[in-house]
Amino acid sequence: MAFESQAVRDARIDVGAVLDAVVRRLPRIVMVTALLLAATFVILMFMPRLYESSASILVEARSNVYIRAANEQAPTSGGDAGAVSSQIELIKSRDTLLMVIDKLDLRSVSEFNGAGGGSFSPLAIISQLLGRKATPVSIDETVLNNLYDRLTVIQERDSNIISVLVRSTDPQRAADIANALANAHVTRRAELSLSDTAEASGWLRDEIAKLRISVTEAETAVANFKVDNDLFTGSNNTSLLDQQLSTIATQINAAQERKNTALSRAALIRGMIERSQPIDGVADVRESVVIQQLSQEKGRLQGEKAQRSATLLANHPTIQALTAQISELNNQISLEGRRVADALEAEAQIEADLEASLQADLTRAKSSASTATQDTVALDSLQREAKAQRDLLEGYLQRYSEAISRTDSNSALPDVRVVSIAAPSVSPASPKTQLILLAVGIVALATQFGLIVFGELISGRAIVPGHSTARPQDELDEVPFVAEELEPGELWQEPPAAIVTGPVDGAAPAEEQSLQTVKAGRPEFQRFLQAFTNARTPALPETVEVGAPEVRGPEPVSPAADVTAAPRPAPGLVTLSDLASDLVLGRTHLVILAAHRSTADCEVLAEELVGYALARGLSVALVDAGSARTGDEAGLTDLSANAASFGDVVHKSADNSFAEVPWGQGREIARSSTKPLTLVEALGDLYEVVVLMTGRVGAASSLPLFDGLDGRLVLVAGDEDDLDAVAETRGRLLDAGFERCEVAAAPARVAA
């Protein structure tokens, strides 16, 4: 890996020298710019003045209620971009341009036929000076090319209006060409509509002639089939057999109804006689002449009996005689009622016989209808075919009549129309002398200034070398060296500039391996690991390669010089309530929790802080960078290994008030990755409270990954932790480079 020297990194640009070089060459800059402007002005004076005129065409579907077919829907007024683009291509087509050329006789105009100076252009002059002759073409091709060069057809933004812009040396000619183009396009669209209608009329005429023959044949086949199979129809377009079946069924229903009525009345009369109830109220009994006479006589005798009862006793012979006569009349009425019931039953029997006869007729009719039904299926098929042919013929006849009536030249409304005619322009459209001179001046000045600055930088006159200062040896030792990613099974080696060999006595194998790895990592890992290992690591034997710079190992530490014996600042204790209050009041935004002994202490405190902040309506983000519990969801380990994106590792609640970043599916967080730090910084911009758990403090802690965060570092102590050991750990964190470290007890310890 290549490194820059300190002097090169400290070099800077001398702005004063650059400005001085520009000022020295200022007269030359002004003179060159003036010459360029004068030459440009002279060239512009010889260029012809072109005037531009514009005509506008509206593209929309047009129709009129008086010329539209009866069943035709009114076209919508809106258009699409594809239709407008097609209209633009039609306007610029060869046929439309030829119509304008013929109408205005542009072949005789020197501006377009190439005979005069109308085709003046710098490229044409250069070609003539070089002696290059143009290939001879026809006069139509010359006029078309010149007209196409002077023509611009564009669509106005967010509209269906097409602007036809034409430039010419004569303002009146430019307006005439623009109007002629617009009118030619409208006329062409009308002709296309009429041609489509005329072609449709011819096709319809041929089809109608064929359909008339088909309809005649189909209707003749229907009539012949009816005659051959006796399928005659009566009123309401119903066959005679169907009408006969309907009539017999109606008669059967009526006979059944009369029979049931007679039987019901007879049963009613007999029941009333058996119950000794008067039957005078029954309609059939009351209509009998005999019963009417008996009822009159009974009524006379009952009246006489009532009159005699007023003067005679009940056992008087006259009263008894009247009673006997009345009883006899009742018996006669009962006998007459039975005769009426017998008559009703006889009537029911007659209706039953009639019903049986009708049922026999119905059976015979059904037998005949079974054969007729099969013939009706074939008849229906023939009728459907005839009806389809007839409907198609009628539809074609209607369309043919409408098409014939719309083939006149004035009956078609094209889908385009001129909405704005072109007028002669007063001022020329090109060349824009002022704008061209301004652009030439700006380009000339910018080019000369750029060349001067570039020359000064290339020559080195504008580069001022910086003053390098010697760096302390301990700072040189901490210069980061980014190691290449190792393949599986490959061992890491020290950089060739400083190779340290030999065993390290007394150092723990795991911590030594971490030390060897972190020495090739970032500076914050070096400081952090040194603070947590030099209390137990003796001096390293130094074996230095010949010609390599000196490598300083850790200073030897005597057993008496233990870190606990060194004076440490008193631990800054903070309670859970104070920490939660600072979060709610906004005095603290990011809390970094590091466990002294158990990661569970951090999790308990983090849950309390998150719950307290959510209860106060704050948005909270919880980041797990120390539990080392793998799960199914993507987390920090996957993010650091480039196995997941930022959005995959942030798991949000339904209302987006809480976001959690778990440990992930990996075993450890890649210390060479800066993505975890970037993620926490991004969460700090999005959420009001961010709680970061880094796990147990030690050589394997992820705390150095988040070095540089503007957060509040809190060392969490458990119930069984020794306060002196907590103070020692806090001192080591301060030695590792953290400016501030507070100590908080886990919630279980506070409760105790």
Q: What CATH number is associated with residue 605?
A: 3.40.50.300
In a shared domain, residues 689 and 657: yes
User: What is the spatial distance between Cα 352 and Cα 348, in angstroms, rounded to a whole number?
Assistant: 6
Tell me, yes or no, whether 273 lies in a domain.
Answer: yes
The set of residues, in sequence order, having a beta carbon less than 8 Å from that of 583 and lying 6+ positions away, is 589, 591, 609, 612, 613, 618, 689
Q: Which residues pair with 59 in a beta bridge?
A: 416
User: CA 189 → CA 90, 343, 412, 610, distances in Å?
Assistant: 9, 93, 10, 73
Tell me, yes or no, whether 470 lies in a domain.
Answer: no
User: Measured in Å, how far apart are the chain's first and last C-alpha atoms?
Assistant: 57
**Domain closes at, from 527, 562, 597:** 562
In a shared domain, residues 661 and 618: yes
In a shared domain, residues 396 and 451: no
Tell me, yes or no, whether 255 lies in a domain.
Answer: yes
pLDDT, position 441: 92
In a shared domain, residues 499 and 533: yes
User: What is the spatial distance between Cα 390 and Cα 27, in angstroms, rounded to a whole number?
Assistant: 96
**Domain closes at, from 541, 562, 583:** 562
Long-range contacts of 244-252 (CB under 8 A, 24+ apart): 244/365, 245/362, 245/365, 245/366, 245/369, 248/358, 248/361, 248/362, 248/365, 249/362, 251/354, 251/358, 252/355, 252/358, 252/359, 252/362
* 417: phi then psi, degrees, rounded to nearest 5: -155, 150
pLDDT, position 312: 75
pLDDT beneath 50: ranges in the chain: 1-10, 65, 117-120, 123, 132-133, 136, 467-521, 534-570, 749-752
Instruction: Show the CA angle centred on residue 292, arms to residues 289 and 297, nearest 5°.
Output: 130
The parent domain of residue 356 ranges over 240-405
User: For the chain, how many structural domains are there in total?
Assistant: 4
In a shared domain, residues 554 and 672: no
Tell me, yes or no, whether 126 lies in a domain.
Answer: no
User: CA 52 → CA 168, 291, 325, distances in Å?
Assistant: 7, 120, 133
Place of tokens 């050991």: 725
Residue 467: left (phi > 0), alpha (psi -120 to 50), or beta?
beta
In a shared domain, residues 371 and 488: no
pLDDT, position 210: 87
In a shared domain, residues 447 and 492: no
In three-state secondary structure terms, 309 is: helix
Contact indicator for 107, 139 with CB cutoff of 8 Å: yes
User: What is the spatial distance between Cα 43 and Cα 436, in angstroms, rounded to a whole number?
Assistant: 11
For the chain, give me the number of helices (H) and strands (E)? 24, 14
In a shared domain, residues 383 and 459: no
pLDDT, position 485: 36
User: What is the spatial distance between Cα 522 and Cα 500, in angstroms, rounded to a whole number?
Assistant: 19
Angle between helices 15-24 and 26-46 (to 10 degrees): 60
Query: H or E segment at 27?
Result: helix 26-46
Contact indicator for 691, 579 with CB cutoff of 8 Å: no
pLDDT, position 494: 35
In a shared domain, residues 294 and 399: yes
Tell me, yes or no, whether 92 lies in a domain.
Answer: no
**Domain closes at, from 511, 538, 562:** 562
In a shared domain, residues 399 and 487: no
Tell me, yes or no, whether 194 lies in a domain.
Answer: no
* 610: phi then psi, degrees, rounded to nearest 5: -65, -45
Beta-sheet strand order (sheet of 590-595): 572-573, 742-745, 712-717, 590-595, 689-696, 620-624, 658-661, 651-652
Tell me, yes or no, whether 19 lies in a domain.
Answer: yes
In a shared domain, residues 297 and 332: yes
Tell me, yes or no, whether 150 lies in a domain.
Answer: no
Question: What pTM was computed for the model?
Answer: 0.37
In three-state secondary structure terms, 429 is: coil
pLDDT, position 470: 38
In a shared domain, residues 526 and 551: yes
